[in-house]
Structure 1
Amino acid sequence: MSKSRCGWCVGDTLYEAYHDEEWGVPVFDDKTLFEFLILETFQAGLSWITILRKRENFRKAFDNFDYKKIAAYKSSKEEELLQNAGIIRNKLKIKATISNAQAFMEIQKEFGSFSKYIWAFVDGKPIKNSFESFKDSPSNTELSDKISKDLKKRGFKFVGSTVIYAQMQATGMVNDHEVSCFRYQEV
């Protein structure tokens, strides 16, 4: 018997595995939060499956998502990334990833961790929504607007409200699994 899953992932094994194992699971680890921030930034204007299919390429290209290394990238590394056909070769997004790594570390200095900063917006607990269909899920909310605005004020780029809401979904700050999905109660 097949499991009942959110409609957006059905039919693609990579999508289903991501949905079943990662999407909506609360993430409190700074390294993983940064990884999703990079991936969501590159996803802006594209489909998530495109990014998932290139995830390992991103991992290799961006030093295993090590924000300390990324923050120190020089123009030669930017050029190398622009020539890497395995990732999304968008100059502005590559530059944003580097400056976002720097801003990420500034937040760590101020709050002790990025996790403490970002999870404070939801008082440390995921928001549990009750959507019948993934199509009912918003692309942004007042809260994602607020987080986006705060991140931009702190120097982050490509962190619009829609990108931030996708980040919140991916890292479990909101549970947007469909109520009929087997993961809804699990996460």
Structure 2
Amino acid sequence: MDDDELQTEHGGAGGQGSRGERGRSDHDGSLSPAPLPSRSSAPLHPSAQRVADAAAGLGLTIDIVTFTEPTRTAEQAAAAIGCEVGQIVKSLVFTVGGAPVMALVSGANQLDTRKLAALFSVGRKQVERADADTVRGATGYAIGGVPPFGHATAMTVYVDEDLMSYDVIWAAAGTPNTVFPITPADLLRASGGQARDLKTG
């Protein structure tokens, strides 16, 4: 997901509840059920199917959920899924020195471009938010549904270390109203990303 719409930061930052709610492990190790209202039974959109195929190519089987309401922002996605905003993965595309890079950021956080710049050993002015054409060209998907892997081009990927504290997180699946759950470990492996401190503050 993005911000203004999953690229853009899958939504803006939202309130973050206590960690241990829906989508978290109970004390016995079982996963608490997360309600999934307004699910669509229609066949997968072609873009979502591409994400499923990309996951399969990486050895992952993902359960893509299609909602009847939009999940463009982190808040919308969390409300539809029934999870914490922090469990939403915002797929953000920036350019660093003109080259596209991806930051996968918790829905509860805002990305600090100074920290992203430091990871590339450049000044903050070298880091810019990618426009819609650049996002589509780099990822193969439109803003609002950019997944964390299966992109049209290879990009350096950094992952917000705060996502690592959850058992299950949720990412966009190619369209503004499709998402899928994934473990942080699988997210790192599938995206080829590195966990880093990316948030402001």
TM-score by length of structure 2 reads: 0.25
TM-score by length of structure 1 reads: 0.27
**Which has the higher relative contact order, 1 or 2, with Cα contacts under 8 A spaced 6 or more apart?**
1
Q: Which has the higher helix share?
A: 1
Quick check: which has more Rg, 1 or 2? 1
